[in-house]
């Protein structure tokens, strides 16, 4: 089990690093997909199947496509050529490094949890469903509402208005 975990983890991290550092945006997006896939794999190794499949379904299926679409819609000549980092280049990574170091230190220093990794069966979907619909019912309703609102909001925001600059096109009849 360890080998699977480490392989997947390494793959994911490499993909994520690539996603964040590649110059070509679409490559970044695709590496991102790889990272999400890796994460889904990790979820599987940690025994949360439903979460893994949800992860794949949502992240790989929807969000990455969304990101790719957005990249395509907004890709202009300038995007490819411009230097992809915000000056000062070193600041971002250093701050991130600081935070990661902090997290790692926290992990390292905090007292270990009792070793209870018994291979009990993963939570069945039934239990998850019951959990969602009983204890987490209000949260579920809220997320439902949120998703609807987000959907409508995104559509409205992204609706095409006549861009002030071109001005040639008439709005849809």
Site for other proteins in 84-143 (CB under 8 A): 84-86, 89, 91-93, 95-100, 102-109, 112-117, 119-120, 122-128, 130-132, 135-136, 139-140, 143
Question: Considering the rule CB under 8 A, would residue 41 count as an interface residue with other proteins?
Answer: no
Distance between CA 47 and CA 62 in Å, rounded?
23
Distance between CA 130 and CA 151 in Å, rounded?
26
- Beta-carbon count within 10 A of 74 CB: 9
Question: Considering the rule CB under 8 A, would residue 82 count as an interface residue with other proteins?
Answer: yes
Residue 52 near residue 44 (C-beta atoms within 8 A): yes
Question: Considering the rule CB under 8 A, would residue 53 count as an interface residue with other proteins?
Answer: yes
- Take residue 79 and report the two structure tokens written for it: 């995007």
Segment 8 to 37, residues that bind other proteins, using CB under 8 A: 9, 12-13, 16-17, 19-21, 24-30, 32-33, 35-37
How many amino acids of this chain bind other proteins (CB under 8 A)? 121
Least separation, in Å, of the C-beta of 99 and other proteins? 5
Q: Is 55 exposed, middle or buried (0-12, 13-18, 19+ CB in 10 A)?
A: buried
């Amino acid at each position: 089990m360890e080998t699977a975990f480490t392989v997947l983890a390494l793959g994911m991290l490499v993909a994520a690093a690539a996603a964040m550092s590649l110059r070509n945006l679409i490559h970044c997006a695709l590496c991102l997909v790889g990272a999400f896939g890796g994460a889904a794999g990790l979820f599987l190794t940690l025994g949360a199947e439903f979460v893994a499949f949800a992860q794949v379904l949502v992240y790989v299926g929807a969000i990455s496509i969304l990101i790719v679409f957005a990249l395509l819609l907004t890709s202009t000549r300038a995007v490819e050529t411009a230097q992809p980092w915000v000056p000062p280049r070193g600041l971002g990574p250093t701050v991130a490094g600081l935070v990661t170091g902090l997290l790692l230190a926290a992990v390292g220093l905090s007292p270990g949890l009792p070793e209870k990794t018994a291979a009990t069966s993963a939570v069945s979907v039934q239990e998850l469903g019951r959990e969602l619909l009983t204890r987490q019912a209000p949260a579920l309703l809220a997320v439902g509402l949120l998703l609807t609102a987000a959907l409508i909001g995104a559509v409205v925001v992204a609706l095409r208005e006549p861009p002030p600059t071109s001005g040639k096109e008439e709005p849809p009849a």
